[in-house]
């Protein structure tokens, strides 16, 4: 269900979890979600609550009164979803679908909490002296009005991004190289009482596999299941096993997995392996797993040591991207666009992509000349990290899909070149056009090379 929540809605659920822990409860109730949402100052629902004398501090005091019988004697280390809040999530999903929205937004959560009986918040509203009919009428008009609007809502883009992001994460989870990792991670989640899959469960499941280069690298760095678990116990504790879970990723786990996916592509791999996941955790610089890894091996060399065995298996793509990065620095720029990937293909000097461009009479000198005329140059040395433009990222994504479709295990130069010509508005295609080459010629060149 949570794959149909926007980023903001997922964050609200996470904040509700934190609120429950803060108040010493071992379950998340609708009251916690309302308190979390009331703190979102930019949300209309939060503004309506404040206008009706239901500020966050007032809601907190009311929750302590309403849920006083839910407190536990020791601090809650983890919490589960109550049946009441599960019904809230389901109803919000139904309302979003009925209103023609593909995703549950914060306004839908507000609506269910304030305008339906499912949430069971009457006792809370009585303590707050909330004018329920008035609040319900306002929220109902807001949701109904938004359902009729044809223009894009600011969260509409977030919804699409969330959908793409979540679907991409699902592809990692199902990937042959990673499936066993997540299968073990979910099993660990089941025994940990957590609702949300975090970096620590993912890292523990990777450590469980004691075969291969990654295991040797981690052991050499002093990172074992035992030492990681020992550190984890200092951060959190585990409660009894329970059933009937709705599992979602924590924001930090999502970040790490997205970076793992990006790393896999940059290294020319069409599958996300455990090595890429560990690199994603290290690159994210967030989360419990990163904190423990940094404590166990604090000299920032772990990433380099994990990359070393992978570099023996490198193909054309990481070399091409390395050349593209060098070109960016030569031009005094800190971003790599499709035009620099094109130069990287030529500088790499081999492979099908290089041969196609060479046969079309394209040279590195010509590409550099046209690129410099478009971008200009900067004499200042760029010492910051090189990033990729959105179109360069899209080119990698398209190349990855092409390689996958061809059942290749690696992304090759022809995949990058074909991805570029699928983007007619890209700067790379503008450069090729100025050199007298068009999309059809490049496609035919690739086709001829593949048939020969």
Per-residue pLDDT of 20-60, as tens digits, reads 888 888 888 999 898 888 888 777 777 878 777 788 888 88
State the Cα–Cα distance between residues 179 and 289, nearest whole angstrom. 19
Least confidently predicted of 121-135, 331-345, 385-399: 121-135
Reported as a single tens digit per residue, the pLDDT across 18-31 is 888 888 888 889 99
Q: Name residue, tokens 């046969």.
A: 359
pLDDT of 192 > 50? The answer is: yes
Q: Name residue, tokens 């990855």.
A: 400
Domain ranges of the chain: 2-151, 175-311, 316-451
Beta bridge partners of 269: 410
pLDDT at 105: 85
Domains 175-311 and 316-451 share a fold: yes
406, two tokens: 């061809």
pLDDT at 335: 86
> Average pLDDT of 237-266?
66
Distance of CA 357 to the CA centre of its chain: 35
Which class is 175-311 in CATH? Answer: mainly alpha
Inter-residue contact 328 to 319 (CB < 8 Å): no
pLDDT at 356: 93
Cβ atoms within 10 Å, residue 233 = 10
Which class is 316-451 in CATH? Answer: mainly alpha
Torsion of CA 67, 71, 77, 79, to 10 degrees: -40
State the Cα–Cα distance between residues 427 and 340, nearest whole angstrom. 9
Strand ranges for 239-385 from DSSP E: 248-249, 335-336
> Average pLDDT of 264-287?
88
Inter-residue contact 372 to 330 (CB < 8 Å): no
Instruction: Give the burial class of 160: count Cβ atoms within 10 A of its Cβ; 0-12 exposed, 13-18 middle, 19 or more buried.
Output: middle
What average pLDDT is seen over the chain? 79
pLDDT at 101: 60
DSSP 170-225: HHHHH-TTTHHHHHHHHHHHHTTT-SEE-HHHHHHHHHH---HHHHHHHHHTT--H
Coil vs helix vs strand at 239 = coil
Q: Name residue, tokens 């609040």.
A: 135
Reported as a single tens digit per residue, the pLDDT across 124-177 is 888 877 776 777 777 666 666 555 443 332 223 444 444 455 555 556 666 666
pLDDT at 242: 32
pLDDT at 93: 85
pLDDT of 331 > 70? The answer is: yes
pLDDT at 78: 61
> Average pLDDT of 368-388?
74
State the Cα–Cα distance between residues 289 and 275, nearest whole angstrom. 14
Nearest C-alpha neighbor of 428 from the set 404, 399, 451: 399
Which CA distances in Å does 276 have to 164, 222, 266, 310?
Answer: 20, 19, 10, 10
pLDDT of 347 > 80? The answer is: yes
> Average pLDDT of 425-450?
89
The CATH H-level superfamily of 2-151 is Clp, N-terminal domain (1.10.1780.10)
State the Cα–Cα distance between residues 132 and 114, nearest whole angstrom. 7
Reported as a single tens digit per residue, the pLDDT across 202-247 is 888 899 888 888 988 999 888 999 898 888 877 654 333 233 444 4
pLDDT at 163: 46
pLDDT at 171: 65
Residue 412's pLDDT band (cuts 50, 70, 90): very high
């Amino acid at each position: 269900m949570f794959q149909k929540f926007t980023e903001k809605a997922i964050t609200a659920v996470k904040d509700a979890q934190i609120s429950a822990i803060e108040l010493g409860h071992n379950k998340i109730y609708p009251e916690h979600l309302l308190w979390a949402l009331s703190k979102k100052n930019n949300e209309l629902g939060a503004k309506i609550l404040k206008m009706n004398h239901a500020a966050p501090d007032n809601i907190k005091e009311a929750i302590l009164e309403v849920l006083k019988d839910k407190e536990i004697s020791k601090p809650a280390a983890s919490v589960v979803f109550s049946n009441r809040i599960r019904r809230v999530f389901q109803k919000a999903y139904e309302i979003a679908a009925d209103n023609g929205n593909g995703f549950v937004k914060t306004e839908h959560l507000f609506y269910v909490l304030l305008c339906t009986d499912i949430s069971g918040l009457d006792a809370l509203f009585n303590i707050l002296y909330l004018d329920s009919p008035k609040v319900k009428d306002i929220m109902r008009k807001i949701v109904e009005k938004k359902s009729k609007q044809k223009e894009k809502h600011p969260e509409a883009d977030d919804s699409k991004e969330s959908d793409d992001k979540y679907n991409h994460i699902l592809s990692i989870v199902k990937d042959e190289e990673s499936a066993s990792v997540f299968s073990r991670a979910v099993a660990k989640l089941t025994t940990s009482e957590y609702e949300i899959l975090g970096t620590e469960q993912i890292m523990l499941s990777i450590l469980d596999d004691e075969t291969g280069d990654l295991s040797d690298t981690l052991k050499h760095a002093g990172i074992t299941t035992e030492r990681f678990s020992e550190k984890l116990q200092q951060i959190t504790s585990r409660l009894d096993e329970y059933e009937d879970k709705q599992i979602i990723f924590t924001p930090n786990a999502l970040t790490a997995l997205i970076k793992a996916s990006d790393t896999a592509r940059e290294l020319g791999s069409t599958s996300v392996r455990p090595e890429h996941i560990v690199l994603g955790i290290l690159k994210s610089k967030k989360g419990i797993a990163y904190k423990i890894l940094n404590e166990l091996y604090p000299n920032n060399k772990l990433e380099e040591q994990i990359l070393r065995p992978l570099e023996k298996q490198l193909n054309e793509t990481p070399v091409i991207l390395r050349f593209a990065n060098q070109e960016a620095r030569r031009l005094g720029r800190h971003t790599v666009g499709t035009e620099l990937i094109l130069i990287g293909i030529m500088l790499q000097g081999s492979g099908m992509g290089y041969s196609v461009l060479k046969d079309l009479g394209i040279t590195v000198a010509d590409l550099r000349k046209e690129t410099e005329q478009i971008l200009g140059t900067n004499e200042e040395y760029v010492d910051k990290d090189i990033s990729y433009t959105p179109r360069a990222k899209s080119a990698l994504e398209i190349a990855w899909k092409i390689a996958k479709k061809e059942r290749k295990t690696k992304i090759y130069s022809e995949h990058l070149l074909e991805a570029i010509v699928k983007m007619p508005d890209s700067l790379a295609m503008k450069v090729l056009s100025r050199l007298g080459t068009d999309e059809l010629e490049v496609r035919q060149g690739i086709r001829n090379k593949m048939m020969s």
